[in-house]
Amino acid sequence: MARDSNDPEVQIDAIHILGTMDATDELQSLYASLQGREARIAVIEALSIAGEGTMLKQVLANETDPELRKAAIQGLAINGEEKAADYLVAMYPGASREEKTAVIQSMMIMEDTEGLLNLLKQESDPELKREMLQMLTIMDSEESDQYLFEMLEKNG
């Protein structure tokens, strides 16, 4: 059904079920054979549900479609893989603007204050810096509070 259904809803539901079954080999094979963006996003979501960070990183390494790359970034944040934040921080400098926004949001999802502060310190784009600062104000972290207070003292 996930591969051959003509009904997109049925196909996407079947893909999500494969994710809950941890059928990662089948999902990887399916991703390679699918053409439609929505079905491929469903596979990325299913890989995230299955906790399969390695395959999500493979998607990021090989995929050129910006929407699919963004979905893979968000999938890494949601799946809880231990090294996901390090991977996203490392890919950030060469990322597109949309990908950078997805990485910033992912740091918030993962509650990774240290990663977000690291990104903030290397970012030169004022809009992206503002977005990161807004997220830091929301995060309940002593580290982010200290950074924000130091920033206020320096500039104020």
- For residue range 49-78, what is the model confidence (pLDDT) as tens digits? 999 999 999 999 999 999 999 999 999 999
Residue 108 confidence class, pLDDT cut points 50, 70, 90 = very high
Written as six digits, the tokens of 4 are 């051959």
Domain count, the chain: 1
Q: Who wins on pLDDT, 10 or 140?
A: 10
Q: Is residue 70 part of a domain?
A: yes
Angstrom distance (rounded) from CA 16 to CA 98: 25
**Which CATH number does the domain housing residue 148 bear?**
1.25.10
CA nearest to 73, candidates 39, 43, 48: 48
pLDDT at 137: 84
Q: Is residue 123 part of a domain?
A: yes
Q: Is residue 23 part of a domain?
A: no
Q: Is residue 8 part of a domain?
A: no
Residue 7 confidence class, pLDDT cut points 50, 70, 90 = confident
Q: Is residue 61 part of a domain?
A: yes
Angstrom distance (rounded) from CA 95 to CA 103: 9
Q: Is residue 73 part of a domain?
A: yes
Q: Is residue 33 part of a domain?
A: no
DSSP 78-98: HHT-TTHHHHHHHHGGG--HH
Query: Which structural domain, as residue segments, surrounds residue 92?
Result: 51-155
* DSSP tag of 110: T
Q: Report, in angstroms and rounded to the nearest whole number, the Rg of the chain calculated over CA atoms.
A: 18
Q: Is residue 94 part of a domain?
A: yes
